[in-house]
Amino acid sequence: MHIVVCIKQVPDSAQIRIHPVTNTIMRQGVPAIINPFDLFSLEEALRIKDKVGARVTVLTMGPPMAETSLRKALSLGADDAVLLTDRKFAGSDTLATSYALTSAILKLSEEDPVDLVFCGKQTVDGDTAQVGPGIATRLGFQQLTYITKIEDLNLDAKEIVVQRRAEGGVQVLKTKLPCMITMLEGTNTIRFGKMDDMFRAARYPLKTWSKDTTGAEETKVGLKGSPTVVSKVFVPKPLAQKATMIEAEGGSPEALASAAVEAIFGAQPKLADDLLARAAAGL
């Protein structure tokens, strides 16, 4: 059983600030973290490893500094790590990114066939949720997104049963390996690493691959391989005006609350009518 987990190194978006004058992102000093959504998928892969035995390879495409995220994943229990890095990948959109990652997964498969690919539900910087489905489609793997639970994994029959979050409910799906899974957030909690894994991670000789290592075609990566272009980046318009403040004589909670009810009913007469009609009907 060979599992590949795709992780992306992202800036901690909670700490991103916009330069007040130039309106550009100030990245300096913003710590880089593993995309939080990827940790749910990594944990699920490690649980499969604990339960039925598997080799877990973490894969990332990014600048050389993304190595720290791979080492972090190794310290949590991943067995092997691949850093896909090449200037030629710069500017890749999701179509080009899924192509590049797929080329690396195919290369990994040559040595040890890949049965499961895990991706995060989405990234916090790109936020597209497209790379996982892109990889699944390219590999011809069954695609299982928004998974809340792996109910059963039968290695002999190569079958997996999962629960998938759909819009109006939960789908219970049964399918065959190989497949690509994205876990829904909150479905598990990432473990703490073990001491010996931490030591191993620190000096583990991880693989660094370029475009030529995986044999990816030049026209399908980077800017050339990306159909989308960003034509404008801007700061959202501040909304027109500030809130109208509700005040009341004496300022007691009761007086303020009455004033608020009047203000709401005044601003939303239709809503008030609905509420009053419902109340009159005894609902």
Ligand X SMILES: Nc1ncnc2c1ncn2[C@@H]1O[C@H](COP(=O)(O)O)[C@@H](O)[C@H]1O
Q: Which residues bind ligand X (CB under 6 A)?
A: 6-8, 35, 37-38, 59-62, 94, 97, 101, 119-120, 122-123, 126-132
Question: Which of ligand FAD, ligand X, another protein, none binds 249 (CB below 5-8 Å, type-dependent)?
Answer: none
Q: Who's near 183: CB < 8 A, 6+ residues apart? A: 37, 40, 41, 44, 118, 120, 121, 147, 148
CB of 98 to another protein, least distance (A): 7
CB of 214 to another protein, least distance (A): 18
**Which amino acid belongs to residue 235?**
V
What token pair was written down for 210?
A: 């370029």
CB of 74 to another protein, least distance (A): 26
Q: CB nearer to ligand X: give 48 or 59.
A: 59
Beta-carbon count within 10 A of 268 CB:
12
Q: Which helix (H) or strand (E) holds 118?
A: strand 116-119
CB of 122 to ligand FAD, least distance (A): 10
Mark 8-47 with x for binding to ligand FAD (rule: CB under 6 A) and - for no binding.
Answer: -----xx---------------------------------
Question: Which of ligand X, another protein, ligand FAD, none binds 76 (CB below 5-8 Å, type-dependent)?
Answer: none
Residue pair 27/170 in contact (Cβ under 8 Å)? The answer is no
**Which amino acid belongs to residue 37?**
F
Q: CB nearer to another protein: give 199 or 258.
A: 258
124 forms part of the interface with ligand FAD (CB under 6 A): yes
Question: Which of ligand X, another protein, ligand FAD, none binds 238 (CB below 5-8 Å, type-dependent)?
Answer: another protein
Residue pair 118/138 in contact (Cβ under 8 Å)? The answer is no
Of all residues in the shown chain, the one whose CB is closest to ligand FAD is: 14
DSSP string, 1-27: -EEEEE--EEE-GGG-EE-TTT--EE-
What token pair was written down for 51?
A: 């339960």
CA distance 134 to 146: 15
Q: CB nearer to ligand FAD: give 16 or 90.
A: 16
Residues that bind ligand FAD (CB under 6 A): 13-14, 124
